[in-house]
Structure formats: C-alpha cells, structure tokens
C-alpha cells in the first residue's frame, strides 16, 4: 500500500498514523529539508529519529528498520527522478510517501 503524506513547503509539525501507531513529524528547512520523528505514546513526545534528511528516491527509514515503524518513507519528484525537495516545492513537485507491504 502506498499513501501520500500531504506536505506544504513550510516548516510544520503534525501527528500521523503509520502502521497502526501514531507519530509526530516535525519538518524543518536546515540547508535542505529534514524530518524529526517522535513517538506520541503515553501523552508525551519522545524523540525517535532527529535530523533525517529528505533524500529523493530511497527509503529514508532503511537504516532504522530496528525501530519497527512498519514501512518505508520515500520522497519522489514529479519532474526528475532524483530532484531534491527545495525550500519552495516540498509537497508540490516533490512528495513524501509511506509504503507498506499491506
């Protein structure tokens, strides 16, 4: 199953359900877009992954499979396969997808 995670080209934070668990995503532009992932269990936000760069065309969670998030996060570009998300096109010409085996 492939699900697009709707984003806008501005710093943002939101809670999202992925593979039956809720996470908090924090996106910021720091010389490129980065993602912080927090657990939202027990009414607190505990950091899981901090400063994960949004790199196009790969599973950005591949090195974190031991955390059991239950899928892949992939950035894809509408125009060129490996065009990185810019300050102005995140969620428009470059999109974030959550991919599971379901």
Q: What is the pLDDT of residue 45?
A: 79
Q: What is the pLDDT of residue 82?
A: 78
- The residue ranges of the chain whose pLDDT is under 70 are 42
Q: What is the pLDDT of residue 41?
A: 77
Can you tell me which residue has the tokens 């969670």?
A: 61
Can you tell me which residue has the tokens 């994960």?
A: 52
Q: Which residue range(s) make up the domain with 33? A: 2-99
pTM score above 0.85: yes
The per-residue pLDDT for range 32-48, each reduced to its tens digit, is 999 999 998 767 779 99
Q: What is the pLDDT of residue 3?
A: 96
Number of domains in the chain: 1
Please state, in angstroms and rounded to a whole number, the distance separating the CA atoms of residues 37 and 55: 16
């Amino acid at each position: 199953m492939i699900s697009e995670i709707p984003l806008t080209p501005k710093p943002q934070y939101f809670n999202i359900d992925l593979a039956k668990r809720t996470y908090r995503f924090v996106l910021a532009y720091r010389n490129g877009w980065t993602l912080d992932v927090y657990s939202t269990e027990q009414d607190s936000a505990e950091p899981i992954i901090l400063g994960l760069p949004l790199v196009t065309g790969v599973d950005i969670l591949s090195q974190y499979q031991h955390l059991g998030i239950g899928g892949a996060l992939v950035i894809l570009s509408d125009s060129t396969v490996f065009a990185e998300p810019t300050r102005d096109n995140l969620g428009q010409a470059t999109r974030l997808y959550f991919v599971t085996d379901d």
